[in-house]
Amino acid sequence: MCGIHAVISTVAIPDISPELRHLLSNRGPDYYGQVCRELPFENGDSTVHLNFTSTVLALRGDHVAKQPLESSPNGSILCWNGEAWKMNGQPISGKNDAEFVLAKLDSYSSDLEARQSHILNTLRQIDGPFAFVFYDAYSKSLFFARDRLGRRSLLFNLAEDGNSISFSSIADPATDWKEVQADAIYSINLNTHLATPKAFKFDTCFIKHDWVLFASDHMVSGIGSFNVTLPPPEHKLDFDSPSVEILKYQLCESLKLRVSDIPEPPHTLTDADVRVAVLFSGGLDCTMLARLAHEFIPANQGIDLINVAFENPRQVAIYKKRPDPPPDIYEACPDRETGRKAFAELKSTCPDRYWRFIAVNVTFEEAMKHRPRVVSLMYPHETEMDLSIAFALYFSARGIGYSYIDKTEWKQTAPTVTSPARVLLSGLGADELFGGYSRHEAAFRNGQYPRLIDELKLDIGRIGQRNLGRDDRVMAHWGKEVRFPYLDEEFVRFAVGSPVWEKCDFQNPFHPAVIDPAKRIMRLLADKLGLPRTAREKKRAIQFGSRTAMMETTGRHRGTQIIARPEPVKC
């Protein structure tokens, strides 16, 4: 994980603001670097300025790769944020992935057209969550993109006069930004514009290069074709279905990439060796990740389960009207209750693992203290629902809470700890892939499998636009990298290529084992993995499970209501 920032301008570029430098350094605390270039116009009377800034969170290879990276053959520059897990289907292991990517990008120096084709083909071969800005010095072209699913943040800002463009992982509070769409690789040919100074306007010079050159009618996010076949008259998804074991294999392959060879966090002030934490509500998606991660994380390392609960004044007022209000508002949160139960189930199933349940309790006062920062981080997302979700992710990623290692120790005398893990596992994507939302069941009721297929295709296609850039900005603020095993390219290709009735089974809602039809294939696998309670857990949105929904409001409000952007927060 890194913070990247780049400015290309026909006028002198001011120093990066202290506030933005602070935000970028929070994302990448291990290194801060800058590279500046100047390109003269052909008539010699003006210059294009290029400034690149990177901060680094070092999680790959045996050294800190100091960014921005510069190539020795041509002087090209790469600002890289994220992970390249595979190149052309082959794992990138034992080396720094950013350095590997730059070497591949800058390894071809034929004519300009062939070089551009090489760069685009190289980028299309990368599997992993990433965003980047790449200056190709050979062709004087700028390339930028987010990966096909948009798992990493990249914003851009165009000056009003069109004479400069900025890119950043996080928004400068003083200006307006938009998210780079995750639908393609984009480029700007500076060489063309250097010959015609009067036509140099950045708002008219984006060139779009699709992720897939020849997409099928049912292509999803440039990754795979969605299976739209309808089920046979008699079908049933059950424990002996072959697809259950295939799901386990695919998920294990995704997890192995994301939990192996993680370096020990620096400056660890705890006796426990913990390098991975799970964003843990106790629900099906995250608990299954924790259970399977146990298979691949070394036995001498612990796993933190971070569970967040909020003091919501609206809910407190409801409790006060009851004759028997709960003694502890945090312990009464739905996600805390399911989290406890799932923690006990994991300890019972995998007793030799050092599991640590971290109960993050957030008072209303503390939430409001951090509210301006959270709103600033999630920008340009700006709705009440965005804020509700961002609150939960922000405090979860911070990882400060009460530590429990025994399922019976729920008293508040537990010590307060900060999870040292710099890799966070998230269950995001499972609902979109396997039909976990209530709207999926509603779609089936209204139009059977054809309607459900359309709804699932829509969800996967828009996940980067709706969720992932916001989530990256909010959680990376703490110098953590969130990884999404359910959104691995190979896993997504498997999921969208599987028939819908082998993932969820709304046509046969009454199952002998009382396993819900939503995400049924995942529930069957969880049961086989020794998680019978988790397999039967109901879906609950994070903002309701953690009690962050509408914390400041009374009466009825819509989640789509726009919230005001605060004044810039002082660093």
Paired sense of beta strands 2-9 and 416-418, if any: unpaired
Whether 430 and 519 have beta carbons less than 8 Å apart is answered as yes
> Distances from the Cα of 230 to the Cαs of 297, 450, 453, in angstroms?
39, 8, 9
- Preceding peptide of 129 cis, ω within 30°: no
| Active-site annotation holder among 2, 79, 286, 504 | 2
Q: Which of 85, 63, 480 is nearest to 257 (CA)?
A: 85
Query: Distance between CA 251 and CA 289 in Å, rounded?
Result: 9
Residue 247, both tokens: 């799901």
Nearest to 59 by CA among 261, 216, 320, 254: 261
Tell the burial category of 74 from Cβ atoms under 10 Å away from its Cβ (0-12, 13-18, 19+).
middle
The dihedral built from the CA positions of residue 209, 213, 219 and 220, taken in this order, carries a sign that is: negative
Helix axes 520-528, 284-293, angle to 10 degrees: 40
Q: Is 2 a catalytic residue?
A: yes
CB 142 within 8 A of CB 132: no
Place of tokens 């307060």: 416
Provide DSSP, 432-501: HHHT-SHHHHHHHHHHHHHHHHHHHHHHHHTHIIIIIHHHHHHHHTTT-EEE-GGG-HHHHHHHHHS-GG
Please choose, from the candidates 140, 132, 130, 139, the residue with its C-alpha nearest in 3D space to the C-alpha of residue 168: 132
Q: H or E element: which one contains 366?
A: helix 364-378
Cβ burial of 329 (10 Å; 0-12, 13-18, 19+) is buried
Strands 164-168 and 2-9: antiparallel
3-class secondary structure, 223: coil
Distance CA 362, CA 369 (A): 11
| Under 8 Å between Cβ of 407 and 343 | yes
490 phi/psi in degrees, rounded to 5? -65, -40
Phi, psi of 494 (to 5 degrees): -65, -45
Report the catalytic residues.
2
